[in-house]
Amino acid sequence: MNDMSADSYVTEDGRTIGGVVMEMKNITLRFGGVVAIKDISFDIREGEIRAIIGPNGAGKSSMLNVISGFYKPQEGEVMYRGEKRPPMKPYQVAQQGIARTFQNIALFDGMSVLDNIMTGRLNSMNASLLSQAVWWGKAQKEEFENREKVEKVIDFLEIQAIRKTPVGRLPYGLKKRVELARALAAEPSLLLLDEPMAGMNVEEKEDMSRFILDVNDEFGTTIALIEHDMGVVMDLSDRVVVMDYGKKIGDGTPDEVRNNQDVIDAYLGVAHD
């Protein structure tokens, strides 16, 4: 697995994993004296589910924020589809087809579930202000076309019943699902999920795992996810990066990582205490 050739391969369950889509090269990120990420390199391949695990404060969320363009690393490069990515604003990264969810749910509380998910479509909608002001022509056409796509996501995630509910009123588990819906509505080529199952009960976790697998399987979406639950990670992911105190201490298939002594000491050991 350490051979990072661009050749694609087929997984045991029959999905095709392609070449490298995103490559993080020697990333170092500091906040004043705190080194959140220390010289980390890893890659994400087309169509795979890539997990990032590690104890609290290891720098996992910071890594997703670097990919999102929200944090600017002091050192290192982000390669996207074979090219060095120039410094970008987060909204420009989103326009490149990278969508995400957040560790602490970041929905728009004053808006309905439907409007929240519709915001996921904003990169594909560009009717002029004038057309929108008179609700005529392109604006209206675009609105209905994109609404149709959003309805498909709503069906897919089985949240039809709460369409019109203001998100502020939803329970935690459903909020997580709506946030996933908003990210999926963007039809991303790379989906970043920051602890999508944190704080969920077993049943909710099973639902969420199923959705993640289905998204990957049906739409071929590449997924990078941060997760604490080792069982879930082992079941879901094709490859795992393990972080501890800002450093990478393991990288490979779930089995390889499970048997890596550093990882056992740093993370699994702690987790099984």
Partner 1 sequence: MLYREAGDFKTSYQKDSQTFPLKFDRMGYWTVMVVAFLVVPFVINDYWANAVAVPFLIYAIAALGLNILTGYAGQVSLGTGGFMAVGAYACYKLMTMFPEVSMLVHVVLAGGITALVGVLFGLPSLRIKGFYLAVATLAAQFFLVWLFNKVPWFYNYSASGQINAPERTVFGIIVTGPNTEAWAKYLFCLIFVVVLAWIARNLTRGMTGRKWMAIRDMDIAAEIIGVNPLMAKLTAFAVSSFFVGIAGALFFSIYLGAAEVGEAFGIQKSFLILFMIIIGGLGSIFGSFAGAAFMVLMPVFLKNVLVGGLGWPTDLAAHLEFIIVGGLIVVFLILEPHGLAQLWRLTKEKLRLWPFPH
Ligand X SMILES: Nc1ncnc2c1ncn2[C@@H]1O[C@H](COP(=O)(O)OP(=O)(O)O)[C@@H](O)[C@H]1O
User: Given the rule CB under 5 A, which residues bind Mg ion?
Assistant: 61, 103
Helices (H), 113-271: 113-119, 129-134, 138-156, 172-185, 202-219, 230-236, 254-258, 261-263, 269-271
Cβ(135)–Cβ(114) under 8 Å? no
Q: Which does 191 bind (CB under 5 to 8 A by kind): ligand X, partner 1, Mg ion, none?
A: none
Contact call for residue 125 and partner 1 (CB under 8 A)? yes
Q: How far is the CB of 242 from partner 1 (least distance, A)?
A: 25
- Is the CB of 36 or the CB of 162 nearer to ligand X? 36
Place of tokens 């071929």: 220
Site for partner 1 in 143-172 (CB under 8 A): 143-144, 147-148
Q: Which does 34 bind (CB under 5 to 8 A by kind): ligand X, Mg ion, partner 1, none?
A: ligand X
- Is the CB of 217 or the CB of 262 nearer to ligand X? 262
Q: How far is the CB of 80 from ligand X (least distance, A)?
A: 21
Q: What residue ranges bind ligand X (CB under 6 A)?
A: 31, 34, 36, 54, 56-62
Q: How far is the CB of 106 from partner 1 (least distance, A)?
A: 4
The bridge status of strand 190-194 relative to strand 247-252 is unpaired
Among 5, 31, 56, 134, binds partner 1 (CB under 8 A): 134
| Contact stretch for partner 1 (CB under 8 A) within 4-12, 103-111, 195-203, 254-262 | 103-111
- Is the CB of 93 or the CB of 225 nearer to Mg ion? 225
What lies within 8 Å, CB to CB, of 225 at 6+ separation is 49, 50, 51, 52, 192, 193, 194, 196, 212, 236, 237
φ, ψ at 197 (rounded to 5°): -115, 5
Contacts 24+ apart (CB under 8 A), 31-37: 35/246, 36/62, 36/246, 37/62, 37/63, 37/66, 37/73, 37/246
- Is the CB of 9 or the CB of 70 nearer to partner 1? 70
Contact call for residue 89 and partner 1 (CB under 8 A)? yes
User: Tokens in use for 243?
Assistant: 């972080």
Among 36, 53, 99, 230, binds partner 1 (CB under 8 A): 99
Q: How far is the CB of 68 from ligand X (least distance, A)?
A: 12
DSSP 8-state class, residue 229: -
Site for partner 1 in 170-209 (CB under 8 A): 182-183, 186
> Distance (Å, rounded) from C-alpha 237 to C-alpha 217?
12
